[in-house]
Copies of this chain bind each other. A is one copy, B any other.
Amino acid sequence: MSDAENETRDRYPHFADLQTRWSDNDIYGHVNNVTYYSYFDTVVNCFLIEAAGLDIQEGPEIGYAVETKCKFNKPVAYPEPLDAGLRVGRIGNSSVRFEIGIFRKGDNDAAAAGHFIHVFVDRATGKPVTIPDKIRGALERILAPTSSASSGA
């Protein structure tokens, strides 16, 4: 379940700071819906790079997004800083489902929450590959204990 209304900080084992930018606000004065996916991409890949040694420049395996989704619960706006919570909802042979919550500082419930499904592929051929052990180990460290309940979002 990634309903933003029900996503609280305790549901995320990993957190990262997010800086907002001038360009994140759209004509209506709030962070645009598209920008949240840029936050997702940034947080997920930072985790893979730092915790799992993903080499986005030269590594043999790369992660392709195959499905993403986000629900928006309340607005945020530049210049406020944000927190991103990250957990893994499901690990398959070649794919992983990341679940992300975006929080205003001091808020316990998410301003927005969604998921991001990565398939690992061979950089040269684009064919799916088994998730390498080093990456799998890192993913398991932030695997949600109740991930079986997470499949509905």
> A125 in the interface, Cβ–Cβ < 8 Å?
no
Q: Does A38 contact B (CB under 8 A)?
A: yes
Chain B residues positioned under 8 Å from A56 (CB to CB): 25, 27, 29
Range of interface residues on chain A? 35 or more
Can you give 21 contacting A-B residue pairs, CB < 8 Å? A22-B41, A23-B32, A25-B26, A27-B27, A27-B57, A28-B62, A32-B41, A33-B37, A33-B41, A33-B65, A34-B37, A34-B41, A42-B78, A42-B79, A45-B78, A46-B79, A50-B79, A64-B72, A67-B69, A69-B69, A69-B70
Which residues of chain A from 27 to 86 have a CB within 8 Å of any chain B CB? 27-29, 32-34, 37-39, 41-42, 45-46, 49-50, 56-57, 62, 64-72, 75, 77-79
Chain A contact residues: helix, strand, loop or mixed: mixed
